[in-house]
Amino acid sequence: MIPPGETIGILGGGQLGRMMALAAATLGYRCHVFAPEADPIAADVCAAFTQGDFADEAALSAFAAHCAVVTYEFENVAAAPLAAILPHAPLYPPAHALEVAQDRASEKAFVEQLGGRPAPWATVDSPDDLAAAIARIGTPGILKTRRDGYDGKGQWRIMTPADAEALDWPTATPLVYEGFVTFDAEFSVILVRTASGEVRFWDSAENVHKNGILDRSTIPASPAIAAHIPAARALAAKLAEALDYVGVLTCEFFATAQGPVFNEMAPRVHNSGHWTIEGALTSQFENHIRAICGLPLGATALACKGAVMDNLIGDDAHDWPAILSDPANHLHLYGKAAVRPGRKMGHVTRLVL
Ligand code: AMP
């Protein structure tokens, strides 16, 4: 058990790290952020910050020497150099979870092995591979980079075989082609798991994306989703167990007429769980900290009848005066200096009481 007062290391300096650090501070921990950028928004609310490259083993080792435990807030970090952390501090979730989740092909193969069902897919390394994948899976579909894609980046919609031929080929990038899933709705399962194997779930939000970016999460999800939750939770718990997982794990699903179709997982706290800050008895951020520190988990039950979380993307952030004019709104701004189209600047949550 890592008692309050100790230092938690966080790899990555974005909003997820920032909200994790705020939850850790509530429990009396100090946080130390390690990130490549000069002025990360998570460091604004942390006790210490090291600027460093995620591949720099010496820097990671020196950072970990100051930490009682290390976690991460985003998964696009090479797993091998993280071994430099382990002589100093445990890394949770384990590096293997990161390896599986950061490659769309290994993630889908892993899920299939455990009985889950992703969209039909194929690995693609060349235009010929893509033609073969389309011949087998059909169109429409989506070509995605295997690694480093997020918020709809690194994705190309292929509506017809002609689209594939006209594609400006992303050279030497390993890709996957996925059949387009006709879904009734999208939802996520967020769980927290302790080192001793205790698992708790939050209620599943119904998620609506715009341009590949999460736009709104709603609790409770529509009745169309409720029927899918038990199977989706069972799969998520199986994935967590197989990974010896410690911390918060998110799995995203499509609700289809044939049952839940696995989309992707994130080995971390997730945007579709931001509503838990006000809407659940214990937030995803606090329970993540509790799990990685070996503290008892807090209750994940709803603290309200429902919640709606809207992301503030790009210029939406300028609406903060109007948002604050409704006293029921919970406004979260991430402190990002530059507003850019498609950039997550903050979110706002409204509870149904
Ligand atoms: P991803 O980054 O892979 O989660 O994709 C972002 C969003 O694009 C998803 O949440 C869906 O709304 C949409 N999307 C991605 N893959 C598919 C698919 N195979 N079929 C239908 N919609 C998809």
Give the CATH number for residue 21: 3.40.50.20
Same domain, residue pair 191 and 171: no
User: Residues 146, 194: one domain?
Assistant: no
The mean per-residue pLDDT over the stretch 335-350 comes to: 96
Nearest of 178, 78, 190 to residue 133 by alpha carbon: 178
Classify residue 83: in a domain, yes or no: yes
**Ligand 1 and 180: CB distance under 6 A:** yes
Domain boundary among 138, 158, 179: 179
Pocket lining: 209 vs ligand 1, CB cutoff 6 Å = yes
**Shortest CA distance to 45 belongs to which of 56, 30, 63?**
30
What is the tally of structural domains in the chain? Answer: 3
- The 8-class DSSP code of residue 206 comes to E
Residues 35 and 160 in one domain: no
Which of ligand 1's atoms lies nearest the C-alpha of 178? 19
Rounded distance from Cα 70 to ligand 1 centre (Å): 30
345 is in which domain, residue-wise? Answer: 185-352
In this structure, is residue 110 part of a structural domain? no
Judge if 202 and 347 occupy the same domain: yes
Domain match, 16 and 141 both: no
Sheet holding 175-179, edge to edge: 121-124, 175-179, 141-145, 155-158
Residues 269 and 195 in one domain: yes
Per-residue pLDDT tens over the stretch 181-235 = 999 999 999 999 999 999 999 999 999 999 989 999 999 999 989 999 999 999 9
Regarding whether 318 and 191 lie in a shared domain, the answer is: yes
Boundary-marking domain end, from 133, 149, 179: 179
Distance of CA 199 to the CA centre of its chain: 18
Q: Give me ligand 1 centre to Cα 13, in Å.
A: 25
Domain co-membership, 175 together with 190: no
Taking Cα atoms as reference points, which of 323, 236, 234, 307 lies closest to residue 272? 307
Nearest atom in ligand 1 to the alpha carbon of residue 119 is: 19
- Confidence at residue 175, expressed as pLDDT on a 0 to 100 scale: 96
Whole-structure pTM value: 0.97
Q: Are residues 323 and 198 in the same domain?
A: yes
Atom of ligand 1 lying closest to residue 142 CA: 19
Query: Phi first, then psi: what are they for 5, rounded to 5°?
Result: 105, -25
DSSP conformational letter for 38: S
Question: For 136-150, 288-302, 313-327, which range has the lowest pLDDT when averaged over its residues?
Answer: 136-150
Q: Are residues 138 and 271 in the same domain?
A: no
Q: Quote the mean pLDDT of the chain.
A: 96
- Is 111 inside a domain boundary? no
263 lines ligand 1 (CB under 6 A): yes
> Which pLDDT does position 151 carry in this prediction?
72
Mean pLDDT in residue range 286-306: 98
- Tell me which residue of 187, 191, 303, 304 sits closest to 254, measured CA to CA: 187
Q: Is 139 near ligand 1, meaning CB less than 6 Å away? A: no
**192 occurs within a structural domain:** yes
Report the separation in Å between the CA atom of 313 and the middle of ligand 1, taken as the mean of its atom positions: 18
Whether 280 is covered by a domain: the verdict is: yes
Closest by alpha carbon to 248, among 19, 14, 1, 5?
19
- Ligand 1 mutation target, pool 210, 263, 270, 271, most atoms within 8 A of CB: 263
- 198, 246: one domain: yes
Query: Which residue, by CA, sits nearest to atom 7 of ligand 1?
Result: 212
Q: Which residue has the tokens 């718990």?
A: 237
Shortest-distance Cα residue to atom 18 of ligand 1? 180
Ligand 1 close to Cβ of residue 212 (< 6 A): yes
CATH at 313: 3.30.470.20
Q: Which atom of ligand 1 is nearest to the CA of 183?
A: 21
